[in-house]
Amino acid sequence: MKTYKAIIYTALNEKILYLPAVNYYFGLRPDCAMTDCEYQWTWKELDCFLKKESPEEYSVFSRTSIEKRIGNLTHYSESEIRNELELGQFTLCFHPSRKCNLNCKYCFGHSDYLDNQELSFDTIKKAIDYMLYEYAPYGCKYIFDFSGSGEPLLKFDLIRQVTEYCKEKRQEIGKAIEIMFCSNLTLMTREMADYFENESMILLGTSLDGGQETNDNNRIYKNGKGTFQDVKKSLELFQNKKFGIASTITPLNQKVDEIFDELYQLPNVDCISMRYIREYSGSAYDFDHFDIDELLLHYEKLCENVLFQLKQGNFDYLIKLINGADVFGILISQNLRKGGSAPFRCEMGKNRIICGPDGKFYSCSVMMGSKDFCIGSLAEGVRPDLVKKYWERPKDKIPACKACDFHQACGGECYANSYLQYGNMYTTNSKSCQLNIRLNKLSYAFLEHLKRTQPENYQKFVEYSFQISNYTTTNTALWALVKWSTVLGKPLSYEELIKDINPVESTTEGNLVLQKMRQRIPSAESYQMDLSVTAEDFPIPGISVHKRDKKAGGIEYLLVYGIKNKHVIFEGMSTRGIQEMPLKQYLTNISDIILL
């Protein structure tokens, strides 16, 4: 008879049952007497146990059969994923400068494979055009990431030039474009700060490894002086701009709870992202020197601190942990949704590519310059034969991943880490795996503990996570208005529109769209279309309102160019270009409302 593994463990005083086959966890009743251990149970035994020991979660889980859940998890269709990602967010990374004014002790910026050529504005423009018009023409948002391996502020003028270029492009395509970079901030002047403060298109980050003592052990000037005080002063130059903090966790600074708390106290911090060092040379910083037990104790302490702050009404403490790219914060957000599968570790070679100063494309920013990570060039584009491997799930390829109980919760080892350690992208590092498994387990316990002891905060967190996952795309009303006004030959400014459109509730959005249209066509109105509508009714294009099905969610605004031979010619952000559809079908399936 078929049996299923059930892993029962205790963390943060919560007893949890994890079911690897369906990547699902259950918080068990506090008085559950079952010993922490791995069990092999038939579905009948499991069903009985869960019904008794986790009644609420069981009622949700049992709405779908276990066979169906397993089927959903094991099903993998590259084309379905490609189709979905094609409409998603895309990132293009650059290393604007290969030089830096600091001499941080562990910096990968000195690696041999990174060449020392400087990036030109011309190369950047070509790469941006390639991304917008060829690589990802149907993307819903674009991010140009200038973090790289040197110090971006050494290229302040270049960043200003690129920003102006991106504004032109944003006006042309009607989609959100953001420029982001991480800086050591030590070169920030008042003049630069004023510029960034007023430039909403630019998102800023800075690197700090903790409070003064911890940071100044690692992040130093060429003369050995620590950077903490100067970074703090630079942060104080800002009033409205918020910063993401990138913190590198090394075996010499494992106290993630203290690091997080110290960084949380700094001004203008939006989120804190603690990530592990990538260092395999045998030095004191080597990843292999991490003490996983000690690290986990600090993560438990971090969880306790977050729970305490939440109880005090400080929701922000949790938000700053999950809003960026913190290793543990990502797991908490991701594991809020139970029963899914992570197909990949990251977006590399798919929705994230890198352009080097040589005009070559690479799959990973850290590995820019390495021929094994080269995936094409400006001349030939991204080559399908060179990116094919990034579309295969590591867990289908790597035996250790296949055998792992947590393989559905994990996208596999980072290709760059694997390559840097073993010269091969398809290996695992047992320490890194152990850490990942234990952090996943801790995140399940954290979420169950929050749910059980602070149900209101748990609910608030669920709602918040849902909001931010919706927030990343370009608002389709904004896109339609920019496109519509451009086709009319009387463009509305993206920069002006975004101020009014983005924060609006969907219920009032239609009226707002009409108001904005009236700035160009004072007689614009909302009409109901029927089968009698003809080309004459469309002296100019209009905007129609498509109530999408539940799965796609919400409302999409579409640009209707007109009617030809009882067919509607239209375009939406998700239609992959201009479409033609019989009027009858359009009225039934898409929309019968037109703003004209």
Q: What residues make contact with ligand SAM under the rule CB under 6 A?
A: 100, 106-109, 147-149, 151, 182-184, 207, 246, 248, 277-279
Half-sphere exposure of 442 (CA within 13 A, CB side): 22
Cβ neighbours for 73, distance < 8 A, ≥ 6 positions apart: 21, 22, 23, 339, 340, 341, 408
Burial letters for 534-555: b for 16+ Cβ neighbours within 10 Å, e otherwise?
A: eeeebeebbbbbbeeeeeeeeb
Toward ligand SAM, which CB reaches closer, 207 or 408?
A: 207
Smaller CB separation from ligand SAM, 368 or 569: 368
Residue of closest CB approach to ligand SAM: 207
For the range 54-58, what are the long-range contacts, defined as Cβ-Cβ under 8 Å and sequence gap of 24 or more? 54/17, 54/26, 54/27, 54/28, 54/29, 57/26, 57/27, 58/26
Q: Do 518 and 524 contact (CB within 8 A), yes or no?
A: yes
Q: Which is nearer to ligand SAM, 54 or 248 (CB)?
A: 248
Our CB check for ligand SAM shows the closer of 184 and 485 to be 184
Task: Give the nearer residue to ligand SAM in terms of CB position, either 150 or 394.
Answer: 150
Contact 24, 338 (CB under 8 A): yes
* Cβ pair 235, 210 in contact under 8 A: no
CB of 233 to ligand SAM, least distance (A): 16
Shortest distance in whole angstroms from residue 366 CB to ligand SAM? 8
Cα 98 to Cα 147: distance, rounded to the nearest angstrom: 11
CB of 278 to ligand SAM, least distance (A): 4
CB atoms closer than 10 angstroms to residue 1 = 6
Residue 260 vs 494, nearer CB to ligand SAM: 260
Q: How far is the CB of 211 from ligand SAM (least distance, A)?
A: 15
Backbone angles phi, psi at 326, to 5 degrees: -65, 135
Distance in Å, CB of 326 to ligand SAM, minimum: 13
Dist. CA 143–CA 90, nearest whole Å = 6
Closest to ligand SAM by CB, 207 or 474: 207
- Taking the complex as a whole, the smallest distance from the CB of residue 243 to ligand SAM amounts, in Å, to 11
Angle between helices 494-501 and 476-488 (to 10 degrees): 150
Rank residues 127 and 182 by Cβ distance to ligand SAM and give the closer one.
182
Q: Which residues contact 54 (CB under 8 A, 6 or more apart)?
A: 17, 26, 27, 28, 29
Closest by Cα among 268, 216, 276 to 246: 276
What pairing do the DSSP bridges indicate for beta strands 243-249 and 269-276?
parallel
For the chain, what is the largest distance between any 2 Cα atoms, rounded to a whole number of angstroms?
Answer: 79
Dihedral sign of CA atoms 360, 162, 193, 353 in order: negative
Tokens of 442: 């801790």
Which residue lies nearer to ligand SAM by CB, 185 or 410? 185
Q: Based on CB atoms, which residue is closest to ligand SAM, 16 or 245?
A: 245
Of 139 and 244, nearer to ligand SAM (C-beta) is 244
Tell the smallest beta-carbon distance from residue 516 to ligand SAM (Å): 39
Contacts of 339 (CB under 8 A, 6+ apart): 22, 23, 24, 69, 72, 73
Least distance CB 132 / ligand SAM (angstroms): 25
Gyration radius of the chain's alpha carbons: 26
Distance between CA atoms of 170 and 220, rounded to whole angstroms? Answer: 38
**What's the min distance (Å) between Cβ of 284 and ligand SAM?**
13
The least CB distance from residue 442 to ligand SAM, in Å, is 22
Nearest to 235 by CA among 223, 225, 244: 244
Task: Give 249 or 587: the residue with its C-beta nearer to ligand SAM.
Answer: 249
With contact defined as beta carbons under 8 Å apart, do 152 and 185 qualify?
no
CB of residue 212 to ligand SAM, shortest distance in Å: 16
Minimum Å gap between C-beta 265 and ligand SAM is 19
Q: Which sign does the torsion angle of CA 95, 270, 441, 290 carry?
A: positive
Alpha carbon separation from 509 to 120, 140, 174, 254, 586 (Å, rounded): 41, 19, 17, 48, 22
* 354, β-bridge pairs: 93, 362
175 vs 345, which CB is nearer to ligand SAM? 345
